[in-house]
Amino acid sequence: MLRKLGLLGLVLVFAAVVLAQVTGTVTEVDKYGNVHTNILETAVDEAGFELGDMLTVVFHDKTVEAPFVTTYGDVDTGNPLVRITGDHVLLAINYGNFSKTYGLEVGDEVEISILEEGAYKEELELRHLVRTDEREDYESDAVFANFREVTIGYIKPGTLYRSSHPAIDDPRAPYANELCEEAGIRTVINLSDSDEELQMACEISDFYKSLNEKGQVINLNMGVDLASDKFAHNLREGLLFLINHEPPYLIHCVEGKDRAGITVAILGALMRGSLDEIYEDYAQSYVNYYHVEPGTDAYEAVVGIIEGILENISGGKEITDDNINTIAFNYLRDKVGLTFGEILKLQEKLYY
């Protein structure tokens, strides 16, 4: 076969093999454990990579298979992915820490090649959700800002709210800020901001600044690696802050979707919410942002995200309405490190 191709054919075959592979080094590991490389988007395009391809990522003596996708939610919880961020390639784990899991550090060499073209395309199309930043594309301010009251299980009405970030340079923030003021928010559990980011938030919102000056805001700078001790430690600090302050409480991250979604799900389970309530509340963020409709395959895929998270928390046990409260209690006690008394105080703060 190769003899018939001749010299030009051999060159073309060799070029195709080379173009299906890109190499580079790790330039940064961010606070979430995502691995940034110096492999540029232009190099990936020239190599013929397309969204939905299954890729092989090789480094040290390890080989990881991961799809080429657009965002973290394009894969199930705990699974690796390759995506473009800015102008370069990023390696990540959805709700996990790629750097810690695989031992990658700044300066390490990485080789990425196509394992199977288009193998993940159908799954990607199912998960690929589109949103806009235009208020008129959404039915209300609350939907646009992903702002809502949480009344899962025995959580008292008017006590707990969740939202996108109300004090950030984003089109949704002014709406979230106004809704927080209207709800009379007194205590803020900010899951996402560093100290520097918190100061920037206070420059954007006078309301946020006033709460912070009164000592009613805690910023936790949390990642999304559920299995990490840091996630558990930060969650403990946030819940102790909630216990020691007064409602109404606001829990937010940047979009109010992932870290806020996990935290609210755990609290809803602790307060004896049903699985349907917990799943519906988590999925509502995707309804709000992406107009995902209940009953569709996309909606079920979103429910699968939080279902997988709770299974992770349970240690792989089957989750039911009968045991979800116990699973949440054990997670808060054994992993997060709250005492029995602190968990009871947390329940008392939220209970009606």
335-350 tens-digit pLDDT: 999 999 999 999 999 9
pLDDT at position 17 is 40
pLDDT at position 6 is 47
The yes-or-no verdict on residue 115 having pLDDT over 70 is yes
To 5 degrees, how large is the angle CA 97–CA 101–CA 102? 120
Q: Does the N-terminal peptide bond of residue 157 adopt cis geometry, omega within 30 degrees of 0?
A: no
Lowest mean pLDDT among 49-58, 226-235, 267-276, 288-297: 226-235
Lowest mean pLDDT among 52-66, 102-116, 164-178, 301-315: 301-315
Q: How far apart are CA 251 and CA 222, in angstroms?
A: 13
Sequence-ordered alpha helix ranges (H) in the chain: 2-19, 41-46, 98-102, 121-127, 141-145, 173-183, 195-204, 206-213, 229-243, 259-270, 275-290, 297-314, 324-330, 340-350
Band of residue 73 on the pLDDT scale cut at 50, 70, 90:
confident
The position carrying tokens 């894969």 is: 75
The yes-or-no verdict on residue 269 having pLDDT over 60 is yes
pLDDT at position 225 is 79
Q: Pairing between strand 249-252 and 187-190?
A: parallel
The yes-or-no verdict on residue 32 having pLDDT over 60 is yes
The yes-or-no verdict on residue 325 having pLDDT over 90 is yes
CA atoms within 13 A on the CB side of 140: 9
Most confident range (mean pLDDT) of 15-19, 31-35, 187-191 is 187-191
Domains of the chain plus CATH, in order, are: 21-127 (2.40.30.90), 135-350 (3.90.190.10)
Minimal CA–CA distance to 266: which of 324, 308, 217, 227? Answer: 324
pLDDT at position 228 is 82
Q: How far apart are CA 291 and CA 285, in angstroms?
A: 9
Q: Are 350 and 155 in contact (CB under 8 A)?
A: yes
- Helices 340-350/229-243 angle, 10° precision: 60
The yes-or-no verdict on residue 13 having pLDDT over 70 is no
To 5 degrees, how large is the angle CA 346–CA 200–CA 231? 40
The yes-or-no verdict on residue 7 having pLDDT over 60 is no
Minimal CA–CA distance to 158: which of 173, 166, 148, 167? Answer: 148
